[in-house]
Amino acid sequence: MPEPMFLTDENLLAAIPALFGFTPTDSLVIVAAVVHTDGTVRLGRTTRFDLDLALRLFRVIVADLSRALGDQPIQRLIGAVVHDTSDATDLPYRSQLHQLVHQLHESGFTNTEFLHVPTFTPGATWSCYHVDDHTGTLPDPAISPVTTERVANGNRIYSNRKTFLTQFVPVPADLRDRIATLADPITEHVQAEELAGNFPRLRQLLQLLDDVVTAATHGQLPTDHHEIAELIAALTSFLLRDIHLIQDTEPRCAAAQSLWLHLWRYAPARYAPTMTALAAVTAYLRKDGKVAGLIIQHDPRPTKLSRLVRRWIREDVDFVALHTDIADVAQHLRTALTESTES
C-alpha cells in the first residue's frame, strides 16, 4: 500500500530521491496526497518534469496531472522546485509558478503548495513560495524513513538521473543476436513441452529459475551466454512466467527484479515483449512504478500483460490488492505444477 502521508514538508523533500530512485536536479516534482477509503491520506502519483520544460509548457503539465489524477480524491498537490541558484534575493521562477498554480486551480486542483530546495545536500535550506517564514533545513535524505525502507527492500538510490537510466540500456545488438541463436532452439523445445504437458521437464526449468533467483539474492547475476539464453527461453513458457511474476519473500522479489531487468537487457527482439512484461510487473508490485514505467516505454510490441501494467500506472492502482491476487495465482500454478510432476 502507498505510504501514509505522515511526512512533514522537510521529510517529504528528503524522501524525493528514494521515490524516484535517483537524486534529481533542475526538476519540478509534484506529489499527490490522495485520500484512501479508510480515511488516511497517502502518497499518490509522484511525477518529475524537467524544470525548463515544465515552466514553459504549463498546459502540458496541467493536462498530464488532470489525466492521471482527475478522478482521484486528491487532498492536495505538493510541488518542489529543485534548482540551485546563486540569487539570494528571491526564490527562483516565482512568476512562472504563479501562472502554473493559477492553471492548476482552474483545473480543479485548488489546494496546492510549492516548495523550493536547491539541492538534496543535508542541511540545505528549503523554502515555501506561499508563506515566507515557512522554511527550514533539509534532513539527510540518506537516512529518511522512505529511503531506509527502499534500501532495506533492495532498491538502490542512484546519484543522478543519467546513471539511473543506464539500467535501461540494452547490451549491444551483436550480443543480443548471439543470445537469439542460442535461445531459439531451446525455446522450441520449451514451448513444445508446455503444449504436450511435459510437467517433469517444466518442473526442472522451474527449479532452474528458482535457483537463479536465489543466487540473485546474493548479488549473483548470470553472465554465461548459454545460461542467459536458457533462462530467457524458459520464460517463454506462460506457466513459468506467471509463477515468477512474484516471489514469496521481499528479498526474493528484489532479487527477481534485478534478475529480470538483467535478462531484459540481453533479450533479443523475439523475447523482448515477454521480458518487458515480466520485469515491469515485478517492479510495479514492489512499488517501483517509475522503473515499471521506464521498462514499458521500451516495449516494442505491447502484450496483454504489459498493456495491463500501463493501466495500473495510469490509474495508480493499489499495490496491495494486486500483490495478493497475483501471489494467489502464482502459488496456485506452482502447486499445480508440482503436484502434476509428482503424480
- pLDDT tens-digit readout, 10-57: 989 999 999 999 999 999 999 998 887 777 888 888 899 999 888 888
Query: How much is the pLDDT for 7?
Result: 65
Of 78-92, 103-117, 186-200, 266-280, the poorest mean pLDDT is in 78-92
% of the chain with per-residue pLDDT over 90: 65
Contact present, 299 and 273 (Cβ < 8 Å): yes
pTM across the whole model = 0.81
The H-or-E segment that residue 186 falls in is: helix 173-196
Q: Alpha-carbon distance 55 to 96, whole Å?
A: 6
Q: Alpha-carbon distance 25 to 13, whole Å?
A: 13
- C-alpha distances in angstroms, 212 versus 64, 142, 188, 272? 40, 30, 22, 20
Indicate the burial class of 8 (C-beta count within 10 angstroms; 0-12, 13-18, 19 or more).
Answer: exposed
Contact present, 271 and 287 (Cβ < 8 Å): no
Query: How much is the pLDDT for 70?
Result: 79
Mean per-residue pLDDT of the chain: 90
Q: Alpha-carbon distance 321 to 312, whole Å?
A: 12
Contact present, 42 and 32 (Cβ < 8 Å): no
Instruction: State the cell numbers at 92.
Output: 527562483
Contact present, 275 and 260 (Cβ < 8 Å): yes
Span 126-157, pLDDT tens digits: 999 999 999 999 999 999 988 998 888 778 89
Mean pLDDT on 153-182:
93
Q: Alpha-carbon distance 13 to 43, whole Å?
A: 13
% of the chain with per-residue pLDDT over 70: 97
Query: How much is the pLDDT for 14?
Result: 94
Report residue 285 CA to chain centroid gap.
9
pLDDT beyond 50 at 233: yes
- 141-158 burial string, b = 16+ CB within 10 Å, else e? beebebbeebeeebbebb
Give the pairing of strands 74-82 and 112-117. parallel
Query: How much is the pLDDT for 69?
Result: 85
Span 301-343, pLDDT tens digits: 888 898 999 888 877 777 777 888 999 999 999 999 988 644 4
Helix (H, G, I), strand (E, B) or coil at 157: coil
Query: How much is the pLDDT for 1?
Result: 41
Span 203-221, pLDDT tens digits: 999 999 999 999 999 999 9
- The secondary structure of the chain in percent helix, strand, coil, rounded to multiples of 5, reads 55, 15, 30
